[in-house]
Amino acid sequence: MSTTRPYSPGDRGPEPSGASGVPEGDAAASAAAPASPASASSASAPPGDGQIRRLSFEGASGVVPLARDFTRQALYAWGWLPAATADQRAAAEDVLLVVSELVTNACLHAEGPDDLWISCDKKVIRIEVSDKGAGQPTPRTPHRASRPGGHGMFIVQRLCLDWGVVRSAGVPGKTVWAELGAPA
């Protein structure tokens, strides 16, 4: 598990747009979406490349339940829900929990989230939460289960294949990303 690697290991390499994994043209199109209290957009990638969804939190309140609902809708659209088996149901619940933890961390430590990006291919779902915070998320060490609070990044670390933080030079804030395996 990583908090320093700017992108996940494997053959994908650095993200072309710096954080979201969306090609430059798609990121610009999504960013041009109407500025409603919480605007959502969906982009379909070429076949085999998966799908990408974006939720902007600009002007929104109740962002944690909003993020969970948005993610749940994406999981239904991508066939993760309704789950046919207990393992598939657990995988979907893990995704919802990780989204909740990342968005909550942005609320508690970074003046709230800016955007939520979710992308899915056949093997991995990637969650990205961007904010304007300067802090570096890390799991509390040593982890003490009996202490209240401080469990969010520990949970993310335990549930995810990998996670990390991306910062863009000259731009305030960061994007915290996490990847979970798709259910079998």
The string of pLDDT tens digits covering residues 20-44 is 333 334 433 333 333 344 566 655 4
Predicted pLDDT of residue 182: 86
Using omega within 30 degrees of 0 as the cis cutoff, is the peptide bond preceding 139 cis?
no
| Neighbour tally for 103: CB within 10 Å | 27
What is the reported pLDDT for 142?
Answer: 64
User: Alpha-carbon Rg of the chain, whole angstroms?
Assistant: 16
Q: What is the mean pLDDT of residues 100-129?
A: 95
**The pair of three-digit structure tokens given for residue 142, joined into one six-digit string:** 């040593």
**pLDDT for res 95:** 98
Copy the structure tokens of residue 104: 């909550």
The reported pTM is 0.74
Domains assigned to the chain: 24-31+40-181 (3.30.565.10)
pLDDT surpassing 60 at residue 48: no
- What DSSP assignment string belongs to 44-79? EPSTTS-EEEEEE-TT-SSHHHHHHHHHHHHHHHTT
Mean pLDDT (the chain, rounded): 78
Tens-digit pLDDT profile for residues 163-176: 999 998 888 899 99
Band (pLDDT 50/70/90 cuts) for residue 138 is: confident
Place of tokens 């085999």: 48
Asked if the model's pLDDT at residue 75 lies above 90, the reply is yes
